[in-house]
Amino acid sequence: MICKLIGVPLQDGASQLGCEMGPSALRVAGLAGTLESLGHDVRDLGNVSVGAAMVMPHANQAIRNLGPVAAWTELLAEVAYRESDEGMPIFMGGDHALSAGTVAGVSRRAAEEGKPLFVLWLDAHTDLHSLQSTQSGNLHGVPVAYFTGRPGFEGYFPPLAAPVDGANVCMIGIRSVDPAERAALEETQITVHDMRTIDEHGVAALLRNFLERVSAAGGRLHVSLDVDFLEPSVAPAVGTTVPGGATFREAHLVMEMLHDSGLVTSLDLVELNPFLDERGRTALLLVDLMASLLGRKVLDRPTRSY
C-alpha cells in the first residue's frame, strides 16, 4: 500500500503550545521506517503550511485564532481531497482542529466516487461545539460539528462540498462532554460509545458492529485518532488528558481489527504534544499503534519498554 505521510504543524486550535512539533516527533520515532518494514510504499510529503491569515471577528469573544484555523481548514480540505485519490494519506498533527479540513476533503473524494464516508472518532471528547457554543474558544473542539454540516460556520469556515452524515460517525472512548455538546448530540444520529459502554460490552463488539456497517455500505473509512483516546498513564503527551482512557491493549485491538477489516482509507494522528512527553514515549506508542493498523501482529511486535 502507498502510505503518504503529511505533516500538519497546526496548534492554533489548542490552548497549550507544542502540537506543532507532533509531525517531527512521529518522524523521529520512526514512523516511515516502521511502515516500510511492513512492506508499504511510504512517501513523506513533508509539512503543509499556511500563510498569513485574515482576522475574523466573531460575536463569541472567547474564540481564538478563528482566521488561522479557517485558513488551515481550507488548505487541508484541498490537500486531503488531492492525496486521497491514491493510497492512504496519514495526517500527522497538530491539534484536532485539523480534522475539520481532512475529513471535509476525503468526504468530497468519497462523494465523487459515489461512496459514503464513515468516520471513526477515537477521542475523549466529541468535539461537537459550534462557534457560538464553545466557552473555551479552542477550535479543536469544533471539527465534528463543522464536517457534519451543523449550522454556524457559514462565512467563517469554507463551504462543505459533501457534509458527512452524522449516522456514519462512530465515536469510541468518549468521557468528557460539555452540556452544549450533549444537547447537540441529541439532534444528531452520531453513535457514541463512552468508556462505560466499553467497560460493559468490550471495545471489540462495539467496533465490529460499526465496521460491518461500513463494509455493507461499501464506504470509505476515515480514522481520527486523538492521543487523549488513550489512558494518560500510557500516553502522557497531550494537553487535554482525561483519566480512564483506552488501555494499551484495547488500543492495539482496535488497530488490529481495523487492519483486518481492510476498510481504512485515510487517517489523522492528532494532539501529540512532544513538549509534554517522557523521552518520546507517546510518539513511540503511536508508531506502534500505526504498525498494528497497517499489518503488524502482536506476535510480530518487537519487545519495547514504555
Q: What amino acid positions are annotated as catalytic residues?
A: 96, 123, 125, 127, 140, 226, 228, 271
Angle between helical axes of 248-261 and 281-293 (0-180°, round to 10) = 30
Look up residue 53 and give its DSSP letter. P
| 276, 237 contact by CB (below 8 A) | yes
Query: Which residue, 77, 121, 92, 75, is CA-closest to 3?
Result: 92
CA dist list (Å): 211 to 61, 216, 223: 40, 9, 12
CA dist list (Å): 52 to 70, 71, 72, 298: 12, 9, 11, 45
Instruction: Kindly report the length of the chain.
Output: 306
